[in-house]
Structure 1
Amino acid sequence: MAETICIPGERLGSVDHYKAGEGTYVRHGFIFSNLAGYKRTTPVDDGEIPELTVVSRKQSSVIPEVRSVVTVKILAVNTKFCSCAILGVEGKSLRETFRGMIRREDIRATEKDKVEVYKSFRPGDIVLARVLSLGDARSYLLTTAENELGVVLAQSEAGVNLVPISWCEMICPKTHVKELRKVAKVQPDYIQTT
């Protein structure tokens, strides 16, 4: 079993000669490293294609991938999109945050032209979202256009956690003021009982 050191984004080989394994991804017919670590080629029997994997000597880190559900904190909101920090992937906390962006057209599945970003999210909201694409060098593109995705935790101006009352409203239990949000219909899988 051959091992060599590699870094994220390093081209490891062609899909014509290898299968992509753990710690790798395929782009344009080539296999690339997804993390810093050691490249391993698994020996195979005659006629089989060897598998390339990358393993880290450190604790493996979680990276947001396309279609994965992420937990984000909204950082800033404007008329076209909101920017956020990705805090967790599929229920696993990240050691460092990634930047994300939810565009206006990706907030809801219906009536996309009527969506107003500031009526869906506010800075500080904790949101469940799905990764649409890797985006550009600055951020991942995210969506909340599913019933299960949206705001799961938000605070009112009085500093109290808001309580959802519909798919688009939350209420402050202290002041009874209603605030507009794109509320997530939280599934039992995401609720932890204490």
Structure 2
Amino acid sequence: IDAESQLLPDVGAIVTCKVCSINSRFAKVHILYIGSTPLKSAFRGTIRREDIRATEKDKVEVYKSFRPGDIVLAKVISLGDMQSNYLLSTAENELGVVVAHSEAGAQMVPISWCEMQCPRTHAKELRKVARVQPEFLQT
């Protein structure tokens, strides 16, 4: 058995995931990497509204933090089982959206912890932006 395919997200692990869908209570994601190791098959995860950021949790709105297609750095806070998803949190400054594409299709540039801007149209979109440590960046 090769060890890579046996790799499972563990509590406390930093994972890279892609947002699949959002609603008013949570974002559904597919976990693509654990640390810097790519996974052979994606695991499903959920980022609940109250786990998006550390402060003013009651004011958080999912659609102002993530959009489908965003690549997000998150931390595993609880393990899933066959029926449920891994619970993930982005409630640290280093966690959140690392790659997002604007409606024009361009990769957006973070301009603050809560906004990204399209370099093509200069439109700003709200996101929970990660303050990225270079070692976590997957290209």
Query: What TM-score does the superposition give when structure 1 sets the normalisation length?
Result: 0.68
- Is 1:147–2:90 an aligned residue pair? no
2:63 aligned with 1:115: no
What's the counterpart of residue 189 of structure 1? 135
In the alignment, residue 11 of structure 2 is paired with which amino acid?
A: V
- CA shift, 1:189, in A, is 1.6
Deviations 1:129-187 (A, max 9, x none): 00000145221000000000000000000000000000000000000000000000000
For residue 188 of structure 1, report the CA deviation from its aligned partner.
2.2
User: Which 4+ residue blocks in structure 1 deviate beyond 4 angstroms?
Assistant: none
Deviation at 1:192, TM superposition (A): 6.4
1:178 counterpart = 2:124: yes
Identity in percent: 65
Cα distance in 1 for partners of 2:123, 2:45 equals 30
Q: Can you give the 5+ residue segments of structure 2 that lack an aligned partner in the other structure?
A: none
- Structure showing greater radius of gyration is 1
Q: How does 1:43-82 map to 2 (within 5 A)?
A: 58-60=1-3, 61=5, 62-82=7-27
Instruction: In structure 2, give the amino acid aligned to 1:113.
Output: D
TM-score, length-scaled by structure 2? 0.94
1:192–1:129: structure 2 CA closer, same or farther, 3 Å change rule?
closer
Note the aligned Cα RMSD (angstroms): 1.2
For structure 1, the residue ranges without an aligned partner over 5 or more in a row are 1-57
Distance 1:73 1:191 in 2: 14
C-alpha contact 2:35 2:136 (8 A) present in aligned 1: no
In structure 2, give the amino acid aligned to 1:59: D
More relative contact order in 1 or in 2 (CA 8 Å, sep 6+)?
2
